[in-house]
């Protein structure tokens, strides 16, 4: 499983709908996690933080609206986009869903094509490189579709790991990433890599970014990790 693949968590208690959603998301190139109720969803989020969550409102025990509320009150999960699915079409219900923190609200029955577009739209906001967008930071330009990087209009040669590292940094300039977070995002949770490997690849990325001169844009935050800018 490629670490480049965005992860979508589908939370839906109706098995048929859950499987249809998972099938279509996988066909679009997403990695899919599945939960049949709210409690399982909360466990999965803690074990394997998804990039986006497609969440059914009406579920037994822990409702989708309560799952959303809990996610949005926690620092480590509040930035994960949530698309709420509901048979409730009244405006008051949509408002309640959005006020609880949902980033989008889709009424059942829905068009799968439209839902896929909404998933991509939310991902464009939180992981732009995953949907082929061009990223820019000062004089650095990264084209995630062509896998090309330049600085001050000069092409840079980056290995695939360095490219993924730079993509991660450029999506959220200024954010401090711990070594463990970089391992999860760049190498993937299924692969065991020593945290010191991160330092080696950061060193290679720094060398590539400064090969024509210019200041090193990467910042080491002692005891915390690394950041761009």
Q: List domains and CATH numbers for the chain.
A: 7-126 (3.40.50.2300), 134-228 (1.10.10.10)
Contact 64, 38 (CB under 8 A): yes
H-helix segments, the chain: 15-27, 38-47, 64-72, 91-99, 112-126, 160-171, 179-182, 195-209
Residue 145 pLDDT grade (very low, low, confident, very high; cuts 50, 70, 90): confident
Chain Cα centroid distance, residue 138: 23
CB atoms within 10 A of CB 40: 18
Residue 99 pLDDT grade (very low, low, confident, very high; cuts 50, 70, 90): confident
What is the reported pLDDT for 191?
A: 64
Structure tokens at 2: 């490629």
As a whole number of angstroms, the distance between CA 105 and CA 192 comes to 37
Q: pTM to 2 decimals?
A: 0.65
Mean pLDDT across 53-81: 90
Task: Calculate ∠ Cα 112-124-86, nearest 5°.
Answer: 35
């Amino acid at each position: 499983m490629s670490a480049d693949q965005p992860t979508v968590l589908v939370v839906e208690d109706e098995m048929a709908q859950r499987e249809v959603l998972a099938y279509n998301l996988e066909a679009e190139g997403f990695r899919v996690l599945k939960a049949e109720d709210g409690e399982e969803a909360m466990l999965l989020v803690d074990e394997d933080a998804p990039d986006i969550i497609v969440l059914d409102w009406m579920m037994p025990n822990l409702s989708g609206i309560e799952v959303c509320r809990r996610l949005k009150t926690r620092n480590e999960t509040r930035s994960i986009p949530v698309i709420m699915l509901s048979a409730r079409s009244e405006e008051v219900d949509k408002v309640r869903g959005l006020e609880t923190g949902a980033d989008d609200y889709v009424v059942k029955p829905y068009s799968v094509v439209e839902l896929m577009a909404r998933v991509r739209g939310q991902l464009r906001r939180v992981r732009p490189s995953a949907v082929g967008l061009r990223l820019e930071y000062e004089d650095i330009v990264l084209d995630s579709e062509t896998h090309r990087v330049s600085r001050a209009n000069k092409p840079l040669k980056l290995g695939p790991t360095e490219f993924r590292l730079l993509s991660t940094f450029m999506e959220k300039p200024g954010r401090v990433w711990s070594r463990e977070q970089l391992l999860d995002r760049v190498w993937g949770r299924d692969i065991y890599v020593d945290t010191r490997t991160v330092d080696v690849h950061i060193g290679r990325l720094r060398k590539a970014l400064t090969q024509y001169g210019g200041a090193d844009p990467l910042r080491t935050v002692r005891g915390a990790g690394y950041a761009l800018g």
